[in-house]
Amino acid sequence: MTEVGTGVRQRCRMTRRAALGLFALPFASVRPVSAATKPPRIACLDDGLAETLLLLGVKPVAIADRKVWEDWVVEPALPPEVADIGTLLEPNLEFLEQLKPDLILSIPYLDGIKPLLERVAPVTTIGIYIENGQPYRNAVEATRKLAGLVGREAEGEALIEATETSLAKVRRELAPFAARPLYVVSFMDPRNVRVYGRMSMFQDVFDRIGIRNAWTAATNYWGFSTVGIDSLATADDARLAYLEPLPAGAGGTLTESPVWSAMPFVRDRSIMRLPPVLMFGALPSAARFARVLAETMTAHG
Amino acid sequence: MGRRDRPLVAVLLCATLAALAVAATMSNLSVQLPSALWLEAAFRPDIGDMRQVLVHYAFLPRLAVSLLCGAALGLAGAVLQQVLRNPLASPETVGVSAGAYLALALATLAAPALLAFGREWVALAGAFVALAAVLALSWHKNLSPLSVVLAGLVVSLYAGAIGAALVLLNHEWLAGLFIWGAGSLGQQDWVTTLWLLPRLGIAALAIGLMTRPLTLLGLEDEGARSLGVPLGIYRFAGLGMAVALIAVVVAAVGVIGFVGLAAAALARIGGGRRFGQRLILAPLLGAALLWAADQAVQLATGPQGDLLPTGAITALLGAPLLLWLLPRLSLGGELPLLAAERLPRTGRPGILLAVIGLALLLLLAFALLCGPGPDGWSFAFGDQLQPLLSWRWPRVLAALSAGAMLALAGMMMQRLTGNPMASPEVLGISAGAALGMMVAMFSVAGAGRPLQTAAAAAGAFAALLTVLAIGRRAAYAPERLLLAGVALTALFDALILVLTATGDPRAMLLLNWLTGSTYGVDPGSAVLTVSIALCLLLAAPLFIRWLDLLPLGTPALRSLGVDVAGTRLLVLLMVAVLTAASTLIVGPLTFIGLMAPHLARRLGLARALPQAIGAVLAGALIMVGADWIGRTAIFPRQIPAGLVATLIGGPVLMWLLRRR
C-alpha cells in the first residue's frame, strides 16, 4: 500500500521535474531574460556539456561540428543560431575570437589546445569520461558545475532529479526484462562491433535501471571494446541492442552470416535496433538512452 | 642437381613455422571446443551448439583465409622480385598494397556503387595506378632496386596521407575501414574463402604456366632476347598477375604487411637459387608465416580480446626483418645521378632567386591579411587586423620555417645519396619523432604540448641514433641508411594502424598531428622554431662545398682527399636536426623535402649554393601557401598544412621527375 503511494507521489513529482528539466528548452525561449540574469556567452566544445546547457535553458553561442550533433545527439534539437566552429580537434580560433565568448567549455581530451583557447576566453574544463570510470556520477557533478557557472542552480538540481526519476521509472518499466543480460553495441562493419561495458555511460545507466550488461570483459578508457561479433557468443540468454547510425553496408550482410544467425540473441529474436544516442554524453544522453531502451524493449516484448 | 641446389634452410624454416602454427592452432581450438568434437565441428557442425558454429564458421574460415592470403602474397612477392629483378620488391615495398587500399577507401566513401560492381576491380585499378606511379618515378634510374623501393615507399606514404585526410574529415564513419585496412582476418562464414579461391587460383595458374619465360627474365636482357623470348610481354604479364594477386588479397582482408617480402626473401636466402624453387617455396613460406602470425595473435588476445588486426602485427614484425635482410642481399651500387642529369642551367641565379623571394614576400602578406570570417572573405586592416594577426602570424611563420628547413634537409639528402627520391621523410627521423609523441600521448594521461614536443624530439634523436648505428657498419652508405629509414617508417605506420583499429579516441589526436597541422603553434613555439631555423640555415654555407662534391660519388671524393664517412656523418646530423625541428611543427608527411630541391633544380639552379637558397625559398613558399589553403578552403574547418602540401606535392613531384 505504502509502496503504491510513494510510487504515485514520485510519478507526480517526476512530471513536474521533467517539465522543469527535460522540457526546459521550449520554455527557455519564452522566458523573459533580464539584463541582470543574462547568461554568459558560452562556446561549448563538448556535446555532452552542450546538451546539459541546453536543458538548463542556456543556448551556447557555438559548438564544434554540428554534423556530429545531428547524427549522434539528435535531441535536444540544436537551435539553428548556434554557430559551428569546425572540428572538435581544431575549433577555428579566429572564428571563435570573433564570436567574443565569455567562457569556453572544454574537456580533458582537449587539454592539448587549452593554452590556445585561453587566449580567446577563460576556459573551464569539465571531465565526464575520466580516470574514475564513473561517467554518470561525473555527469551529475558536471551538471551542478555548469548550473553554477550560468547561475541556474535550481534548474541544475531539477535536471539531476528529473534524470534520476526518469531512470527510476525506466527501472520499474524494465523490471520484467531484468533477468536477461543485454549487450549494447555499435556496428563498425558487418563483422565487428564496439561493445560498451565498464567505465561507459551505458554501464552506469544499466546499473541504475537494473539491467545486467552481458559484456563483462575488459574495456578501454572510454568504456568500450572493439571485437568481432563472434566474441558476443559467450552469454547464452543475452539480448542485443545495436545503436544507429549504421555504417554503410552493415545492415544487409548481417543476416547472411551463419555465425550471426547462430548467435543466441539472433536465434531467439532478442535483437533490437535503437535510435542514435551519444555514447560520450552527459545526463540528457543517459536519460535518452534509458528512455529509448525502455520504449524499444517494451515494444519488442 | 647437386646437394647445393636444395633449399634446405628454406624447407626447414617452413616446417618449423608450420609446426609452431599447428601447436598454436591446437591450443586456440581447444580453448573453444573439446577435442572430441573437432571432427564433428569441421564437417557436420551442430548448428545448435554455438561453440561448433564458431569453430566451423569463424575459426576454420579464418585459418583458410590466412593460408590463402599468405600463399598469395608470398607468390606475388617472388614474382615481383623476379620481374623487377629486385630482391626487395614486395606488395608493400612497391606501393601496390597501399594503392589498392586507397582505391577501396575512396570508393567506400565517394562511390559505393563501384564496390557492388566488384571490390577486386576497384582494388586492381588502385594497385595499377600505384605501380605505374612507382615505375614512372624510378624509370630514369633504370628501375634499380633501391630507387623502385624508395619510390614505392613514397607512393605508399602518399596514399597513406590521402587516407588520413579521408579519416580526419569523416572519422566517425570510417572506423570500419580502419579494421579492414589494418588487415583483420576475422571471418564469420566461408564467403571470403570461396571468393578468394577461384581468383587466386587463376592468377597462380597463370604464373605457373609462365614459369619458364619468367625464369629467363632473371637473366640479363640480352641473354634472354638471344633465346627468342618476347621479354616485354612476359614481364608485363608477370607483373599483372602479381598485382592481381595482391589486389584480390587487399580487397578481401586489407593490407597484410610484409608477409610478401618476408616469404620471398626467406625463400631466396634459404637456398632457393632457382626461380622455379622460389615459386614453390615463397607461397609455402608465406602461408606458414601468416598462419603462425594469425594464430599467435589469437593466442595473445584470447577469444574475447580486443580486436588486434593481424595485418598490422605482421607489419610490426616486418620492419626488423627488413633491417636483418639488408646486409644479406646484394643490391648493386647506385650510380651518381644528379650530376649527370641534363637540366636547364640558368646563367643568372641571382635574378631567379630574387623573383622567388619576392613571390614569398607577397604570399606572406596575403596569408597574413586575407581570409574568410563568419561574414565572408575580407582583407583585414587596422583595428580588425590586430586580433586576427595574433592567430595568423605564429602559424604562418612556423609553416615558413618548417618548409625552409625541410627543403634544405631534402636538398642535402638528395646530394648525399645521389637519389632523387631521397628525402627526410624516408630517413625514419620523422617516424621516430611521431613514435615519441605517440608514447607520450598514450603513457601519460593528459600530456600537454611541451611534454609531447620533448618526447617527439627524443624520438627523432633515438631514430637518428638507430639509423646511424645501422649505417656505421656500411660507412654511412646512403642506400643502407635509406632502407633502414624505410623499415622504421613502416614500423611506425603499423603501430598507427593498430591504434586506429581499436577506435581509441587518442588515435585521432595523433592522426591530426601526423597530417601536419600548424593549429597548435603559439607565439612562443613560433619564435623558437624561427630561431632554430635561422641558426641552422646560417650554418648551411659550411656544408656547401661538400654538397657540390658529394654527387660525384665515393671514388672521386676519396681522390680529392675528402673523409667520406666523416662528411656523410656531419651532413646526416644536420639533416636530422633540420628534420626533427620541422617535424614537430608540420608533422612527418609533407614531401616538401622531396619537392622543393627538385623545383629549384628544374628552375636551373645547378650549383649547391643557389640550389640550397632556391629550395629553401620554394619550400617556405609552398608551406606558407599550403597553410593558408588549409586555413581557408573549408572554413571554419581546417585541413592540416602538411596534408595540403602533400596533396599538391604528389602531382607536382610526378611532373618534376617525369621521364625526360
Query: Among the ranges A238-252, B19-33, B342-356, which has the highest mean pLDDT value?
Result: B19-33
Is B189 within 8 Å of A99 when comparing Cβ atoms? no
Is B452 within 8 Å of A94 when comparing Cβ atoms? no
Is A248 within 8 Å of B501 when comparing Cβ atoms? no
Least confident of A117-121, A143-147, B187-191, B236-240: B187-191
Beta bridge partners of B371: B378
- Specify if B452 maps to a domain: yes
pLDDT of residue B69: 94
Q: Which residues of B touch A200 (CB under 8 A)?
A: none
Check whether residue A29 and residue A157 sit in a common domain.
Answer: yes
Q: What DSSP assignment string belongs to B146-180?
A: HHHHHHHHHHHHHHHHHHHHHHHHHGGG-HHHHHH
pLDDT score of A10 more than 50: no
What's the one-letter identity of residue B561? G
Task: Give CA B551 to chain center in angstroms.
Answer: 26
pLDDT of residue B176: 62
Check whether residue A189 and residue A50 sit in a common domain.
Answer: no
Q: What is the mean pLDDT of residues B507-514?
A: 74
Check whether residue B194 and residue B111 sit in a common domain.
Answer: yes
Check whether residue A33 and residue A152 sit in a common domain.
Answer: yes
Q: What is the mean pLDDT of residues A125-131?
A: 90
Least confident of A12-21, A77-86, A93-102, B150-159: A12-21
pLDDT score of A18 more than 70: no
Q: How far apart are CA B323 and CA B31, in angstroms?
A: 36
Q: How far apart are CA B159 and CA B153, in angstroms?
A: 10
pLDDT of residue A173: 93
pLDDT of residue A164: 95
Check whether residue B362 and residue B257 sit in a common domain.
Answer: no
pLDDT of residue A17: 43
| Domain span including residue B179 | 45-287
pLDDT score of B425 more than 80: no
Least confident of A111-125, A142-156, B164-178: B164-178
- Write down which residue in A142, A163, A184 finishes a domain: A163
Check whether residue B146 and residue B218 sit in a common domain.
Answer: yes
Distance from CA of B251 to the nearest CA of A (A): 15
**Packing angle of the helix pair A135-149, A283-300 (nearest 10 deg):** 130
CATH number reported for the structural domain that contains residue B227 in this entry: 1.10.3470.10
Q: How far apart are CA B35 and CA A82, in angstroms?
A: 62
Check whether residue A191 and residue A122 sit in a common domain.
Answer: no
pLDDT tens per residue, range B328-387: 666 554 444 444 456 667 778 888 899 999 999 999 988 888 888 777 777 777 677 777
From the list A94, A226, A248, the residue facing B388 with the nearest CB is A94
Q: Per the structure block, which three cell numbers stand in for B218?
A: 632473371
Determine the residue among B498, B506, B519 to mutate to test chain A binding: the one whose Cβ has the most chain A Cβ atoms within 10 Å. B519
Nearest CA in chain B to A263: B50
- Specify if B324 maps to a domain: no
Q: Provide CB contacts within 8 A for B203, sequence distance 6+.
A: B72, B241, B244, B245, B248
- Specify if B13 maps to a domain: no
Check whether residue B233 and residue B356 sit in a common domain.
Answer: no
pLDDT of residue A249: 56
Question: Does B628 or B41 have the greater pLDDT score?
Answer: B628
Percent of chain B with pLDDT over 70: 87
- Specify if B597 maps to a domain: yes
From the list B108, B371, B519, the residue facing A90 with the nearest CB is B519
From the list B58, B188, B373, the residue facing A98 with the nearest CB is B373
- Write down which residue in A109, A130, A163 finishes a domain: A163
Is A84 within 8 Å of B636 when comparing Cβ atoms? yes
Question: Does A294 or A24 have the greater pLDDT score?
Answer: A294
pLDDT score of A14 more than 90: no
Integer-rounded Cα radius of gyration of chain A: 20
Nearest CA in chain A to B180: A189
Check whether residue A228 and residue A273 sit in a common domain.
Answer: yes
Percent of chain A with pLDDT over 70: 84
Nearest CA in chain A to B520: A113
Least confident of B54-63, B95-104, B310-319, B473-482: B473-482
The mean pLDDT value of chain B amounts to: 81
- The SS3 call for residue A228 is strand
pLDDT of residue B283: 94
- Specify if B204 maps to a domain: yes
Check whether residue A176 and residue A73 sit in a common domain.
Answer: no
Distance from CA of B538 to the nearest CA of A (A): 31
Could you tell me the pLDDT band of residue A137, with boundaries at 50, 70 and 90? Answer: very high
Least confident of A27-41, A195-209, A250-264, B550-564: A27-41
Check whether residue B259 and residue B394 sit in a common domain.
Answer: no
Check whether residue B574 and residue B442 sit in a common domain.
Answer: yes
Q: Which secondary structure element, helix H or strand E, spans residue A265, and what is its range?
A: helix A264-267
- Write down which residue in B272, B287, B302 finishes a domain: B287
Could you tell me the pLDDT band of residue B313, with boundaries at 50, 70 and 90? Answer: confident
Q: What is the mean pLDDT of residues B299-315?
A: 76
pLDDT of residue B175: 60
pLDDT of residue B271: 81
Q: Scan for cell 634523436, then name that residue.
A: B461
pLDDT tens per residue, range B114-157: 777 777 788 889 999 999 888 888 777 667 777 787 788 778 87
pLDDT of residue B660: 46
- Specify if B384 maps to a domain: no
pLDDT of residue B399: 92
Check whether residue B416 and residue B493 sit in a common domain.
Answer: yes
What's the one-letter identity of residue B331? L
Nearest CA in chain A to B392: A94
Determine the residue among A186, A230, A263 to mutate to test chain B binding: the one whose Cβ has the most chain B Cβ atoms within 10 Å. A230
Least confident of B67-76, B366-375, B479-488: B479-488
Check whether residue A90 and residue A192 sit in a common domain.
Answer: no
As a three-state string, the secondary structure of B25-88 is HHHHHHHHCCHHHHHHHHHCCCCCCHHHHHHHHHHHHHHHHHHHHHHHHHHHHHHHHHHCCCCC
Check whether residue A151 and residue A173 sit in a common domain.
Answer: no
- Specify if B382 maps to a domain: no
Check whether residue A177 and residue A153 sit in a common domain.
Answer: no
Q: Which residues of A touch B637 (CB under 8 A)?
A: 86-87, 90, 92
pLDDT of residue B112: 72
The Cα angle at residue B267 between residues B263 and B273, in degrees rounded to 5: 150
- Write down which residue in B255, B271, B287 finishes a domain: B287
Is A192 within 8 Å of B307 when comparing Cβ atoms? yes
Check whether residue B274 and residue B355 sit in a common domain.
Answer: no
Nearest CA in chain A to B305: A227
Q: How far is CA B425 from CA B71, B402, B515, B543, B576, in A?
A: 32, 13, 13, 21, 10
- Write down which residue in A163, A187, A218 finishes a domain: A163
Percent of chain B with pLDDT over 90: 20
pLDDT of residue B331: 57
pLDDT score of B321 more than 70: yes
Could you tell me the pLDDT band of residue B427, with boundaries at 50, 70 and 90? Answer: confident
- Specify if B69 maps to a domain: yes
Distance from CA of B467 to the nearest CA of A (A): 31
Q: Provide CB contacts within 8 A for B636, sequence distance 6+.
A: A84, A85, A86, A91, A92, A95
pLDDT score of B474 more than 70: no
From the list B180, B305, B373, the residue facing A189 with the nearest CB is B180
Q: What is the mean pLDDT of residues B603-623?
A: 90
Is A94 within 8 Å of B371 when comparing Cβ atoms? yes
Q: What is the mean pLDDT of residues B384-407?
A: 88
Could you tell me the pLDDT band of residue B287, with boundaries at 50, 70 and 90? Answer: very high
pLDDT of residue B74: 94
Query: Among the ranges A165-174, A263-272, B375-384, which has the highest mean pLDDT value?
Result: A165-174
CATH number reported for the structural domain that contains residue A262 in this entry: 3.40.50.1980
Check whether residue A175 and residue A138 sit in a common domain.
Answer: no
In chain A, the number of structural domains is: 2
Q: How far apart are CA B284 and CA B88, in angstroms?
A: 19
Q: How far apart are CA A56 and CA B310, in angstroms?
A: 48
Q: Which secondary structure element, helix H or strand E, spans residue A9, and what is its range?
A: helix A2-20
From the list A220, A233, A264, the residue facing B504 with the nearest CB is A220
Percent of chain A with pLDDT over 90: 48
| Sign of CA pseudo-dihedral B420, B421, B427, B433 | positive
Is B57 within 8 Å of A68 when comparing Cβ atoms? no
Q: How far is CA B465 from CA B268, B288, B321, B431, B469, in A?
A: 30, 34, 19, 13, 6
Is A192 within 8 Å of B373 when comparing Cβ atoms? no
Sheet holding A103-106, edge to edge: A83-84, A62-63, A42-44, A103-106, A123-125
Distance from CA of B502 to the nearest CA of A (A): 6
pLDDT score of A300 more than 50: yes
In chain B, the number of structural domains is: 2
Distance from CA of A258 to the nearest CA of B (A): 6
Check whether residue A198 and residue A125 sit in a common domain.
Answer: no
Could you tell me the pLDDT band of residue A29, with boundaries at 50, 70 and 90? Answer: very low
Q: What DSSP assignment string belongs to B354-387?
A: HHHHHHHHHHHHHHHHEEEETTEEEE--HHHHHH
Q: How far apart are CA A192 and CA B409, in angstroms?
A: 43
Check whether residue B255 and residue B354 sit in a common domain.
Answer: no
| Domain span including residue A265 | 169-300
CB A157 within 8 A of CB A193: no
Q: How far apart are CA A104 and CA A122, in angstroms?
A: 6
Q: What is the mean pLDDT of residues B17-42?
A: 88
Q: Which residues of B touch A91 (CB under 8 A)?
A: 636
pLDDT score of A37 more than 70: no
Nearest CA in chain A to B453: A112
pLDDT of residue B303: 65
pLDDT score of B101 more than 80: yes
pLDDT score of B220 more than 70: no
Q: What is the mean pLDDT of residues B474-479?
A: 62
Distance from CA of A128 to the nearest CA of B (A): 14
pLDDT score of B517 more than 70: yes
Question: Does A80 or B436 have the greater pLDDT score?
Answer: A80
Nearest CA in chain B to A86: B637
- Write down which residue in B287, B311, B326 finishes a domain: B287
